[in-house]
Amino acid sequence: MSLEGKVLVAQGGGPTAVINQSLAGIVLEARKFPQVSKVYGAEKGVDGIVGENFLDLTQETTHNLEQVALTPSSALLSTRSKPDSKFCHEIFKVLKAHDIRYFFYIGGNDSADTVRIVNEEAEREHYDLRSVHVPKTIDNDLMINDHTPGFGSAARFVAQSFMGLNLDVKSLPGVYIGVVMGRHAGFLTASSAIAQKYPDDGPHLIYLPEREFNIERFLADVKQIYDRYKMCIVAISEGLTDASGTPLTISLRKGKAVEVDAHGNVSLSGSCALGDLLTEAVKERLGISRVRSDTFGYLQRSFLGCVSDVDQHEAREVGERAVQMAIWHDVNGSITIHRTGYYSVDYRLTDLSEVAGRTKLMSDEFINAEGNYVTDAFKYYVRPLLGSGLQSPAQLRAPRVPKRCVTCD
Amino acid sequence: MSLEGKVLVAQGGGPTAVINQSLAGIVLEARKFPQVSKVYGAEKGVDGIVGENFLDLTQETTHNLEQVALTPSSALLSTRSKPDSKFCHEIFKVLKAHDIRYFFYIGGNDSADTVRIVNEEAEREHYDLRSVHVPKTIDNDLMINDHTPGFGSAARFVAQSFMGLNLDVKSLPGVYIGVVMGRHAGFLTASSAIAQKYPDDGPHLIYLPEREFNIERFLADVKQIYDRYKMCIVAISEGLTDASGTPLTISLRKGKAVEVDAHGNVSLSGSCALGDLLTEAVKERLGISRVRSDTFGYLQRSFLGCVSDVDQHEAREVGERAVQMAIWHDVNGSITIHRTGYYSVDYRLTDLSEVAGRTKLMSDEFINAEGNYVTDAFKYYVRPLLGSGLQSPAQLRAPRVPKRCVTCD
Q: How far is A291 from chain B (nearest CA, A)?
A: 7
pLDDT digits (tens, 9 = 90+) for B357-369: 899 999 999 999 9
The reply to whether A393 touches chain B by the CB within 8 Å rule is: yes
Of residues B258 and B39, the one with the higher pLDDT is B39
Does B68 contact A at CB distance below 8 Å? Answer: yes
B266 strand-pairing partners? B260
Question: Percent of chain B at pLDDT above 90?
Answer: 79
Search chain A and give the residue with CA nearest B24: A396
Residues B308, B21 contacting (CB under 8 angstroms): no
Q: Tell me, yes or no, if A292 comes closer than 8 A to chain B by beta carbon.
A: yes
Q: Give the CA count within 13 Å in the CB-facing half-sphere of B267.
A: 18
Please tell me whether residues B102 and B178 are part of one structural domain. no
Q: Determine whether A376 is an active site residue.
A: no
Q: Is B277 on the interface with A (CB under 8 A)?
A: no
CB-based contact A293 B299, cutoff 8 Å: no
Same-domain check for residues A79 and A155: no
Same domain, B250 and B143: no
Give me the pLDDT at residue A266, please: 57
Q: Which of A139, A141, A221, A311 is catalytic?
A: A139
In a shared domain, residues B300 and B188 = yes
Can you tell me the mean pLDDT for B193-210?
96
Identity of the residue in A56, A75, A304 whose CB atom sits nearest the CB atom of B164 = A304
The pLDDT value given to residue A336? 98
Query: What per-residue confidence (pLDDT) applies to A171?
Result: 93
pLDDT confidence of residue A70: 97
CA distance B125 to chain A (A): 18
Residue of A nearest to B54 (CA): A401
Instruction: Say yes or no: B217 and B329 in one domain.
Output: no
* pLDDT at residue B258, rounded to an integer: 53
- Mutation target to probe the A interface, by most A beta carbons within 10 A, among B16, B62, B171, B307 is B171
Query: What is the structure's pLDDT at A323?
Result: 98
Of the candidates A74, A170, A405, which has its C-beta nearest B93's C-beta? A405
* Residue of higher predicted confidence among A265 and B79: B79
Q: Is A294 on the interface with B (CB under 8 A)?
A: yes
Q: What's the confidence (pLDDT) of residue B398?
A: 94
| B286 in A contact zone (CB under 8 Å) | no
Question: Could you give the CA distance from residue B150 to residue B113 in angstroms, rounded to a whole number?
Answer: 19
Do the beta carbons of residue A371 and residue A364 sit within 8 Å?
A: no
Q: Does B353 touch chain A (CB under 8 A)?
A: no
CATH number of the domain within which A128 lies:
3.40.50.450
Q: Is residue B392 part of a domain?
A: no
In this structure, are A65 and A79 located in the same domain?
yes
Q: Treating both helix axes as pointing N-terminal to C-terminal, what angle do B19-30 and B309-328 enclose, rounded to 10 degrees?
A: 40
CATH number at residue B241: 3.40.50.460
Question: Chain-centre distance of CA A397, in angstroms?
Answer: 37
pLDDT per residue over A40-58, tens digit each? 999 999 999 999 999 999 9
- DSSP assignments along A113-155, one per residue: HHHHHHHHHHHHTT---EEEEEE--TT---SS-SS-TTHHHHH
- Residues of chain A under the 70 pLDDT cut: 1, 251-271, 406-409
| Residue B409 pLDDT class (50, 70, 90 cuts) | very low
At B363 the pLDDT is: 97
The residue range of the domain holding B217 is 154-305+362-386
Q: Examine the domain organization and report whether B167 and B184 are in the same domain.
A: yes
Angle between helices A215-229 and A273-286 (to 10 degrees): 60
Cβ contact, residue pair B299, A296, below 8 Å: yes
More confident call, B239 vs A253: B239
**Is position B406 within any domain?**
no
8 Å CB contact of B269 and A292: yes
Q: Chain A contact for B289, CB < 8 A? A: yes
**C-alpha distance from residue B262 to each of B13, B84, B176, B245 (Å):** 11, 11, 34, 22
Instruction: Return the active site residues of B.
Output: 139
> Which tops the pLDDT comparison, B296 or B247?
B296
B231 and B373 share a domain?
yes
Best residue in A46, A64, A167, A256 to probe B by mutation, most B CBs within 10 Å?
A: A167
In a domain, B28, yes or no: yes
One-letter amino acid for residue A320 of the chain: E
- pLDDT of A392 reads 93
CB contact residues (below 8 A), chain A span 154-173, against chain B: 160-161, 163-165, 167-168, 170-172
Do B196 and B118 share a structural domain? no
What is the number of domains present in chain B? Answer: 2
Q: Is A85 exposed, middle or buried (0-12, 13-18, 19+ CB in 10 A)?
A: exposed
Q: Which pLDDT value is given to residue B272?
A: 79
For residues B202 and B80, state if they share a domain: no
The whole-number average pLDDT for the span B338-348 is 96
**Does A177 share its domain with A299?**
yes
Specify if A103 maps to a domain.
Answer: yes
Domain shared by A9 and A72, yes or no = yes
Residue B62 in contact with partner chain A when CB distance is under 8 A: no
- In a mutational test of the A interface, the residue from B74, B76, B230, B299 whose CB has the highest number of chain A CBs within 10 Å is B299
Q: pLDDT tens, B249-266?
A: 766 555 455 555 566 655
